[in-house]
Structure 1
Amino acid sequence: GFKVAILGAAGGIGQPLAMLVKMNPLVSLLHLYDVVNSPGVTADISHMDTASMVRGFLGEQNLSDALTGMELVIIPAGIPRKPGMTRDDLFNINAGIVKTLSEAIAEFCPKAIVNIISNPVNSTVPIAAEVLKNAGVYDPRRLLGVTKLDVVRANTFLGEVLGLDPRDVYVPVVGGHAGVTILPLLSQAKPPCSLTEEETKVLTYRIQNGGTEVVEAKVGAGSATLSMAYAAAEFADACLRGLRGDAGVVECAFVASQVTELPFFASKVRLGRDGVEEIYPLGPTNEYERMGLEKSKKELSESINKGISFIKK
């Protein structure tokens, strides 16, 4: 089995994610780190009768022990978005958290595959990349922003429209992981479906604003934590299957990329023993998607630069 660490394990995403990862038979050792409440979460999760051992780590002084020897590190740490808060309001706090954690990864488990969930992903992935570069340990194949929730939502929402089980639906989602940067390629959906222009617009809007839908429904009690934990656990499982050497493990993720002129971009990637083994081109797109891509790239470029300049400032 594999050694997995969750950084931010006591948070709204971290707790359900820890539970789901504890259920994964590919995991042999699960490290749960946070700056608050991680001993309690660890005690609770450790009672589950699945194979993996669970150990808890509290506070920055124990970060080195939490990370040493880890093969996959998942980072949901950060503060959640509250109503009326833009993803930018989150930026300075979460950017600082990701910087600190990335510095520790560079020092204590530089060869680990790193899954970044902390928002805004469009900026936090470039932040982690710059920190790892500065430490001389950056391997772009091993750093992935988790955009899987956009795919999960796209599959669910399209399944509803088509009257199909969402497990039988697949929609690639490319671009970034916020608002208009999220670009579902509905023209490439499986099974192939002919949506009207209006249906495409409504679906695209709903997929792009799925996070806001949950924030508003929770009326101040948090953001998308449970569906995010599910998506992150599914993505972590794909990374572990890749590490194991399984063939044909393909997921969408926000990675260092040459698919567009931007330095980072989410698209379909094949996962393997070194993380990202292949990045697939966008494939055929329609006019609506090409327009969406231009909008996505404009905002995405600003978010990426914001992340890079946070470290370079």
Structure 2
Amino acid sequence: MYLTQEKVAVMGAAGAIGSNIVQDLLSTKTACRIAMYDPFAQGLEGAAEEIYHCAYPGAEVSWTADVKEALTGADYVISSGGAPRKEGMTREDLLKGNCEIARGLGEDIKHYAPNAKFVVVIFNPADITGLTALVYSGLAPGRVSTLAALDSTRLQTKLAQHFAVPQERVTGCRTYGGHGEQMAVFEDGIVVDGVPFAEIMAGKQVNGKSLSAEEWQEVQTHIRQGGARII
């Protein structure tokens, strides 16, 4: 039994992220009616074949290079269909090209899926491409989102590694703004293994480890450069 049997359109489904989204939707029993879209038809066919070979029970997966076919009747839209960030590039380098893609996505949603319940935009710079897609889709603001939690999770991960504690023992991590060098990293509200961050910065140890002001600055830099480092 799947959480929803409504149609989900996955844009950019020939890519690694898009095809994995399809697999996750099926393997987690989230959705079974999925339209895979990508303008790269040959690669898309191969990605779809891999999904078919998994033989998910009750799955209704289609693939198409026709955006109208993919979006018509879609209740949910997930798009990873932007250009990837390459080595040496900043998120800002992607801005113009991917905003044009986001504009097209928004316009296509307006034309073919005006009643979409929720749209997720996950190609960089996501805060701006998400806003662009929202503006051109005509949807209400609460129906369009991006990957807002990624940098906060990176902060949680780094602190857990520093203090050698399970990641779930680090809570209250928050970041804000651009998904890169201009991002703000907040310390208010962070709790590590039950110890408030203010006490840690005042010298209290967690699991026998401390965190100096210099080390905290290094953590913030590490988070801001997370995307570039992974690439």
Q: Name the counterpart of 1:76.
A: 80
Aligned-partner Cα distance in 1 for 2:168–2:60:
31
CA contact (8 A) 2:106 2:133 kept: yes
1:57: which partner in 2? Answer: 64
Distance between the aligned counterparts of 1:148 and 1:111, measured in 2?
26
Instruction: Give the whole-Å Cα distance in 1 for the aligned partners of 2:22 and 2:172.
Output: 27
Q: Which has the larger radius of gyration?
A: 2
Cα 1:8–1:197 shift into 2, 3 Å: same
Instruction: Give unpaired runs (5+ residues) of structure 2.
Output: 202-211
Find the residue that maps to 1:181 and give its secondary structure. coil
Residue in structure 2 matching 1:88, options 70, 74, 92: 92
- TM-score normalised according to structure 1 size: 0.61
Q: Counterpart of 1:70 in structure 2: which amino acid?
A: A
* Higher relative contact order, structure no. (Cα contacts within 8 Å, ≥ 6 residues apart): 1
RMSD: 1.9
Once the 2 structures are TM-superposed, how far is the Cα of residue 172 of structure 1 from its aligned partner?
A: 3.4
**Structure 1 regions of 5+ residues with no counterpart?**
216-313
Any idea what SS the aligned residue of 1:89 has?
helix
Amino acid at match of 1:40: G
Where does residue 175 of structure 1 map in the other structure? Answer: 176
The residue matched to 2:188 in structure 1 has which SS?
A: helix
**Per-residue deviation, 1:66:** 0.8
Where does residue 280 of structure 1 map in the other structure? none
Whole-Å Cα distance in 2 between the matches of residues 54 and 213 of structure 1?
Answer: 35
Shift of 1:145: 1.9
Task: Tell me what 1:127 maps to.
Answer: 132
Provide closer, same or farther for how the CA distance between residues 152 and 49 of structure 1 changes in structure 2, counting only shifts above 3 A: farther
- Secondary structure (helix, strand or coil) at the match of 1:29 reads strand
Match of 1:117 among 119, 122, 130: 122
For the residues of structure 1 that align with 2:62 and 2:68, how far apart are their CA atoms? Answer: 13
**Where does 1:1-313 land on structure 2 (aligned, <5 Å)?**
1=4, 2-36=6-40, 37-51=43-57, 52-58=59-65, 62-112=66-116, 113-132=118-137, 137-191=138-192, 192-193=196-197, 194-195=200-201, 196-215=212-231
Q: Which moved more, 1:88-97 or 1:181-190?
A: 181-190
Q: Post-superposition shift, 1:207? A: 1.0
Structure 1: distance between partners of 2:215 and 2:107: 45
**Contact 1:6–1:31 (Cα < 8 Å) also in 2:** yes
CA 151–72 in structure 1, closer or farther in 2 if over 3 Å, else same: farther
Once the 2 structures are TM-superposed, how far is the Cα of residue 97 of structure 1 from its aligned partner? 1.3
Q: Is the 8 A contact 1:8 1:75 kept in 2?
A: yes
Contact 1:147/1:177 (CA < 8 Å) preserved in 2? no
Q: CA deviation at 1:49?
A: 3.8
The separation in 2 between residues aligned to 1:171 and 1:180, in whole angstroms, is: 21
Question: Structure 1: how far apart are the matches of 2:10 and 2:173?
Answer: 26
Normalised by the length of structure 2, the TM-score is: 0.81
Cα distance in 1 between the residues matched to 2:160 and 2:96? 37
Residues in 1 aligned to 2:123 and 2:34: alpha-carbon distance in whole angstroms: 19
2-side partners of 1:180 and 1:85: how far apart? 12
Contact 1:76 1:118 in 2 (8 A): yes
Instruction: Please give the alpha-carbon distance, in whole angstroms, between the structure 2 residues aligned to 1:205 and 1:50.
Output: 42
Residues 7-28 of structure 1 deviation map (CA, whole Å, 9 limit, x = unaligned): 1111232232232222121212
Task: Tell me the number of residue pairs that the alignment of Structure 1 and Structure 2 aligns.
Answer: 208
